[in-house]
Amino acid sequence: MTDADSLQTEVAALERELMRAIGAAGETATLEQVRVAALGRKGRITELMHGLPALAPAERKRAGAAFNAVRDRIAAAIAARQRALHEAEVEARLRAEALDVTLPPRPTDRGTIHPVSQVTEEIIAIFADMGFTVAEGPDIEDDFHNFTALNIPPEHPARQMHDTFYLEAAPGAAPMVLRTHTSPVQIRAMRAGPPPYRVIAPGRTFRRDSDQTHTPMFHQVEGLVIDRSTHMGNLKGCLEEFGRAFFEVENLRMRFRPSHFPFTEPSAEVDIGCRRKGNELVIGAGEDWLEILGCGMVHPRVLEHVGLDPETHQGFAFGMGIDRVAMLKYGIPDLRAFFESDLRWLRHYGFAALDVPGLAMGLAR
Ligand code: PHE
């Protein structure tokens, strides 16, 4: 046996040994140790190759070629094993860190939509179907929008009737108020652009009052229609249409009773027919009446305050208590409970989050 032969036997044995070690390496760090021990600067293959110069030239050439082939096979095997281990490690990590976003929410976490929110959406859906858009104004109003522009000048007795919350005033300035009704949004809507107007404005309102049917904060929805020819008959038709759709009673009885508001002339209050059977209240039938809103033809002086000519423009406005019609429609007896955030009350009277009111599917299911 030549030196070259024994060298090659040694190399063949080393190749088998290394191939086993590569296959056995279970993680990339171990494999790296195998690689350094074989192919590194002081590795075993490198070391064997140092024996080549001692061989005779012809043998050196043959053995050198064989060595290179072994080195390349070992390197390729290491690279392949490395890829496989890396993939397995990524797989394992993905599995360990997986987040199942498909888990259903636990029933105890389920909230409900407050009746005021639900009824507000119902009202918006009905008026949107009649061509109204939604307008907004601030809860903190100035004296002009809440009173003066609505034909309630300073010292007007109606100011006392509103039980107003006043904010502390800056020296010399008129105090701001928590708006006592949504009517100031009429003024804002008309000052925001040219007529015609067809808007509703739902929102919070505030009065210093508290008993079973009054809370210091409550909700109203304002309606305003102004163009050149809108008349009282349109007002009546619009509100009757609303009443039928909202209470879901085909022959809803409604009564327009003469009344007074400084910002409308003529003015009316609207009652709906009902029957009381003990504690139960049935809407639409019976001999009793329940007031739900105030309305009228917008007063010429209000139009003048926003720069409209009462000779060419006219229309109607109404203001309705949202909490009040919510109580009537869903048989909720005490208004104060609306704002106490009692979870048992909210679960009982609240609505499922996906019960979005729309006319096509019925308002509430
Ligand atoms: N703002 C009146 C109120 O709060 C309601 C109303 C609005 C009446 C619009 C007529 C026209 O009582």
pLDDT in tens, 154-198: 888 878 767 899 999 888 888 999 999 999 999 999 999 999 999
Residue 297: alpha-carbon gap to chain centroid: 37
Hey, whose CA ends up nearest to atom 2 of ligand 1? Answer: 319
User: What is the average pLDDT score of the chain?
Assistant: 89
pLDDT in tens, 23-51: 998 888 899 998 998 888 888 888 878 88
Hey, whose CA ends up nearest to atom 4 of ligand 1? Answer: 181
Q: Return d(Cα 66, Cα 74) in angstroms, integer.
A: 13
Measure the CA angle with vertex 108, ends 103 and 113; round to 5°: 100
Distance between Cα 221 and ligand 1 center (Å): 9
Hey, whose CA ends up nearest to atom 7 of ligand 1? Answer: 319
Distance between Cα 294 and ligand 1 center (Å): 5
Please, what is the angle between helix 322-330 and helix 232-247, to 10°?
Answer: 40
Distance between Cα 263 and ligand 1 center (Å): 8
Residue 80 has pLDDT above 50, yes or no: yes
Ligand 1 neighbours (beta carbon < 6 A): 181, 183, 261, 264, 294-296, 317-319
Strands 140-141 and 254-261: unpaired
Q: Does domain 112-349 have CATH number 3.90.1150.10?
A: no
For residue 342, the model assigns a pLDDT of 93
Measure the CA angle with vertex 170, ends 168 and 172; round to 5°: 120
Name the pLDDT band for 365 (thresholds 50, 70, 90).
Answer: very low
Distance between Cα 35 and ligand 1 center (Å): 87
User: How many other C-beta atoms lie within 10 A of the C-beta of residue 84?
Assistant: 12
pLDDT in tens, 123-164: 999 999 999 999 999 999 999 999 999 999 988 887 876 789
| pLDDT mean over 87-112 | 82
pLDDT in tens, 262-271: 999 999 999 9
Which residue from 177, 183, 200 has its CB within 8 A of the most atoms of ligand 1, so it is best to mutate? 183
pLDDT in tens, 227-238: 999 999 999 999
Distance between Cα 202 and ligand 1 center (Å): 13
User: What DSSP string describes 8-40?
Assistant: HHHHHHHHHHHHHHHHH--SHHHHHHHHHHHHS
Please, what is the angle between helix 3-24 and helix 57-96, to 10°?
Answer: 0
Q: Return d(Cα 139, Cα 181) in angstroms, integer.
A: 9
Q: Return d(Cα 320, Cα 302) in angstroms, integer.
A: 19
